[in-house]
């Protein structure tokens, strides 16, 4: 057993964890390999993270798998990523079924290749009966796209007379985001030592805690996840209140 696992407070787990899986290409370069090698090696990191979150009892795990900006990468790399996604859904199906994991996606999936969309739909259907963690793949996703899409929907509803303009508030916009069915993330992890969101969950991360790991994603394992959760549990989440107010609420 990991030395870190017993340090995790099972009563204070983040309900929703988002992961920006960064550093595949740079890690491959350090190994003297092409960037695609890093993406293939990262499958083990995905498996370890998904399995660990499911075992701990995390409710939702969102993996930032492909952003809208990633289309600007070399065509060979993009094609390899799309095929890897298809292959991984098939190879990890047993893991998902054994752990009751339900698969879902957010993002403009209509813009993905047909084979990728078909693999995703099949995976969603096959895991729909699960009663465990929700695994959400953010594909062809960006926070700006999500907010703009929600704003456009609100504008159309107002123009069509289905919504009053003075009813436009935070709740109205949140209800039209691609994540409307899921709670906002409480913990966002980014690997590879970078310290930015890169257009991920711009609205939803308003009160998320951030954990930046120096580890490249292909080397990220269970202990790295445990370290992030332990760090999260050591923080005081005040949501605009003072420490004294929190203590009074806990001990009236």
- Would you name the residues annotated as active-site residues? 22, 70
Taking the alpha carbons of 114, 130, 230, 207 in that order, is the dihedral positive or negative? positive
Phi, psi values for residue 33, rounded to 5°:
-115, 160
Which tokens sit at 48?
């370890």
End-to-end CA distance of the chain: 39
DSSP-derived secondary structure for 65-78: EEEGGGGGS-HHHH
C-alpha to C-alpha distances, 206 to 143, 168, 200, 209, 231, nearest whole angstrom:
12, 18, 11, 9, 19
C-alpha to C-alpha distances, 98 to 21, 180, 225, nearest whole angstrom:
24, 27, 21
CB 194 within 8 A of CB 212: yes
Q: How many CA atoms lie within 13 A of 226 on its CB side?
A: 18
Name the strands in the sheet holding 102-106, side by side, starting at the edge strand that comes first in the sequence: 102-106, 134-141, 60-67, 16-20, 187-190, 209-212
Find tokens 């954990």 and name the residue: 211
């Amino acid at each position: 057993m990991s030395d870190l696992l017993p340090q995790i407070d099972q009563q204070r787990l983040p309900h929703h964890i988002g992961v920006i899986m960064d550093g595949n290409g740079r890690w491959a370069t350090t190994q003297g390999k092409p960037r695609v090698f890093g993406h293939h090696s990262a499958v083990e990191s995905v498996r370890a993270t998904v399995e660990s979150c499911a075992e701990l009892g995390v409710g939702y795990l969102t993996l930032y798998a492909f952003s809208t900006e990633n289309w600007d990468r070399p065509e060979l790399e993009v094609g390899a990523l799309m095929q890897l996604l298809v292959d991984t859904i098939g190879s990890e199906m047993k893991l998902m079924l054994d752990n009751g994991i339900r698969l879902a996606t957010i993002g403009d999936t209509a813009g993905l290749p047909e084979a990728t969309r078909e693999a995703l739909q099949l995976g969603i259907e096959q895991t729909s009966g699960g009663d465990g963690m929700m695994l959400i793949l953010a594909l062809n996703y960006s926070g700006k796209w999500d907010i703009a899409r929600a704003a456009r929907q609100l504008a159309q509803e107002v123009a069509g007379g289905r919504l009053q303009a003075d009813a436009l508030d935070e709740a109205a916009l949140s209800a039209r985001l691609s994540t409307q069915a899921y709670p906002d993330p409480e913990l966002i992890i980014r690997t590879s030592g970078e310290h930015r969101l890169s257009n991920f969950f711009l609205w939803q991360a308003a009160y998320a805690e951030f954990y930046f790991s120096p580890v490249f994603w292909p080397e990220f394992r269970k202990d790295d996840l445990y370290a992030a959760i332990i760090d999260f549990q050591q923080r005081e989440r005040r949501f605009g209140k003072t420490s004294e107010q929190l203590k009074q609420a806990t001990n009236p």
